[in-house]
């Protein structure tokens, strides 16, 4: 076999999804021997074993899982190519229902604006709410997907990382730690921390910090809305941490002060595309998904670096003062 074909990749994806040659054959309207033959050809071409057979059941091998991700990326790119050039007059239309977490809104809305200019017949509906509400919307099929910060490990959810996001510890300009160049965990023992709901990047990062403290902080304030967290910190209620991207304006204007904690020098999280594992993506959803991933893949380094520019400039000025 000189090369892999798109059809063979589609057959492989079907078998991987069904974990059954016979079920995949029925789905593809092919005979079982025809499907088995194509899987065998892929293995001969690639030199890897795609499936392990235990008894009467088959399971994806480790190499098979790697090839599956590649195969899905290839077929999605081909689909996007077909849709884009088949619809040169922007005939793609419909409505996308998505949830966008507060830390991602500034980033994602800019890209949605670009997408809408490319496909003016597409409408968007945004369902907001806290993290729990977003996940309920996915489970109840009220949204096509949610874009959230920090991975959500639930068996009914598909998580695909979009972009890495640095995070920044923040305090008020009036906070007594303002101007301290080397903040240690010992200096945080009696501080108040503003924490978001369980599952958020804020929650995980603060709990990692708490594990490094000799004593648990005496006071925690729970605020679910992450935009409200910024206002609480500005009011000098306590210390918190948020994705750097959503703090640029406040840090630039000295409304919030970035703090580097020695034991947590470069905290980082990631943004994820999250949808129900059983969700069948329409051509419109696939078009938007591929657009989003391609835009952020190309600009990943720029976004990751620019998100911390304001913090770095501020801290450099402090250190050189």
User: Is residue 24 in a domain?
Assistant: yes
Q: Same domain for 201 and 316?
A: yes
Task: Examine the domain organization and report whether 288 and 233 are in the same domain.
Answer: no
Tokens for 168? 């920044």
My answer on whether 158 and 192 are in the same domain is: no
Instruction: Give CA–CA dist 66/69, Å, rounded.
Output: 6
17-73 pLDDT, tens digit each:
999 999 988 888 889 999 999 999 998 888 889 998 888 889 999 998 888 888 888
**What local confidence, expressed as pLDDT, does residue 250 receive?**
93
Higher pLDDT, 93 or 314: 93
Residue in the block written with tokens 């501080």: 191
For residue 105 the two structure tokens come to 């809104």
Residue 1 belongs to a domain: no
Residue 36: give its domain's CATH number: 1.10.10.10
> Smallest Cα–Cα separation from 258: which of 269, 271, 242, 235?
242
pLDDT at 29: 87
Give the global pTM: 0.63
Q: What percent of the chain has pLDDT over 90?
A: 30
Of the three residues 60, 85, 110, the one that is the final residue of a domain is: 85
């899987």: which residue's tokens?
39
pLDDT band at 219 (very low <50, low <70, confident <90, very high): confident
**135 in the same domain as 101:** yes
- Are residue 209 and residue 226 in the same domain, yes or no? yes
Q: Which residues, including other chains, have CB under 8 Å from residue 71's CB and lie 6 or more apart?
A: 9, 12, 13
**pLDDT value of residue 46:** 85
Same domain, 58 and 156: no
Residue 257 clears pLDDT 70, i.e. is over it: yes
Tell me the CATH number at 207: 3.40.190.10
Domain limits for position 136: 91-163+270-306
Rounded Cα distance, 36 and 252, in Å: 60
Q: What is the pLDDT of residues 260-306, one digit of tens each?
A: 888 887 899 998 999 998 888 888 898 899 889 888 876 555 544 44
Asked if residue 222 belongs to a domain, the reply is yes
CB neighbourhood size of 5 (10 A): 13
Count the domains in the chain: 3
Q: What is the pLDDT of residue 87?
A: 53
Higher pLDDT, 214 or 103: 103
- Do 245 and 314 belong together in one domain? yes
Domain termination residue (choose one: 85, 112, 132): 85
- For 73-122, the pLDDT digits (tens) are 888 887 777 666 555 545 677 899 999 988 888 888 989 999 998 888 89
Q: Which of 197, 193, 194 is nearest to 130 (CA)?
A: 197
DSSP 226-255: HHHHHHHHHTTS-BEEEEGGGGHHHHHTTS
Residues 65 and 103 in one domain: no
Asked, for residue 65, whether it belongs to a domain, the answer is: yes
Q: Are residues 196 and 234 in the same domain?
A: yes
Q: What angle do CA 80, 89, 73 make, to 5 degrees?
A: 5
Q: Mean of the pLDDT values across residues 141-158?
A: 89
Is residue 150 a part of any domain in this protein? Answer: yes
Residue 50 located in a structural domain = yes
Q: Are residues 16 and 126 in the same domain?
A: no
- What's the mean pLDDT when you consider all of the chain? 84
Rg (CA), the chain: 24
Q: What is the secondary structure of 259-317 as a DSSP string?
A: E-BTTBSS-EEEEEEEEETT----HHHHHHHHHHHHHHHHHHHHHHHHTTHHHHHHHHH
SS3 89: coil
Residue 34 CA to its chain's centroid (Å): 38
CA atoms within 13 A on the CB side of 12: 30
248 in the same domain as 188? yes
The predicted pLDDT at position 153 comes to: 84
- Do 202 and 315 lie in one domain? The reply is yes
Distance between CA atoms of residues 308 and 252, nearest Å: 11
What is the percent of the chain with per-residue pLDDT over 70, rounded to a whole number? 87
Q: Is the pLDDT of residue 317 over 50?
A: no
* Contact (CB, 8 A) for 166 and 242: no
Does residue 128 lie within any of the structural domains? yes
- Contacts with 10 (C-beta within 8 Å, 6 or more apart), sequence order: 28, 75
Domain boundary among 66, 85, 104: 85
Rounded distance between C-alpha atoms, residue 52 and residue 49, angstroms = 7
Contacts 24+ apart (CB under 8 A), 135-143: 135/274, 137/99, 138/99, 138/274, 138/275, 138/276, 139/276, 141/276, 141/279, 142/97, 143/97, 143/98, 143/99
- Taking the C-alpha atoms of residue 37 and residue 159, their distance in angstroms, rounded to an integer, is 32
């Amino acid at each position: 076999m000189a090369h892999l074909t798109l059809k063979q990749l589609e057959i492989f994806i079907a078998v991987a999804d069904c974990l059954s040659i016979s079920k995949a054959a029925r789905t593809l309207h092919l005979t079982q021997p025809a499907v088995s033959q194509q899987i065998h050809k892929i293995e001969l071409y690639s030199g890897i074993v795609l499936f392990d057979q235990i008894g009467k059941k088959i399971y994806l091998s480790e190499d098979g899982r790697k090839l599956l991700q590649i195969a899905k990326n290839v077929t999605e790119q081909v689909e996007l190519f077909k849709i884009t050039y088949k619809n040169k007059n922007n005939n793609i239309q419909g409505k996308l229902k998505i949830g966008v977490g507060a830390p991602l809104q500034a980033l994602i809305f800019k890209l949605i604006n670009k997408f809408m200019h490319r496909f003016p017949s597409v409408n968007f509906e945004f369902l907001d709410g806290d993290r729990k509400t977003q996940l309920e919307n996915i489970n109840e099929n009220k949204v096509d997907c949610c874009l959230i910060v920090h991975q959500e490990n639930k068996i009914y959810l598909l998580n695909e990382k979009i972009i890495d996001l640095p995070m920044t510890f923040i305090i008020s300009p009036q906070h007594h730690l303002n101007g301290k160049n080397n903040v240690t965990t010992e200096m945080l023992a009696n501080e108040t921390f503003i924490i978001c709901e369980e599952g958020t990047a804020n929650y995980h990062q603060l709990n990692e910090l708490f594990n490094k403290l000799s004593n648990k902080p005496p006071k925690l304030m729970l605020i679910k809305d992450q935009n409200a967290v910024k206002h609480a910190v500005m009011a000098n209620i306590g210390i918190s941490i948020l994705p750097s991207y959503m703090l640029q304006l406040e840090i630039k204007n000295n409304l919030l002060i970035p703090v580097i904690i020695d034991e947590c020098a470069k905290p980082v999280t990631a943004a994820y595309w999250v949808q129900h594992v059983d969700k069948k993506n329409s051509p419109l959803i696939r078009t938007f998904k591929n657009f989003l991933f391609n835009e952020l893949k190309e600009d990943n380094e720029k976004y990751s670096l620019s998100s911390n520019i304001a913090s770095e400039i501020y801290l450099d000025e402090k250190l050189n003062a």
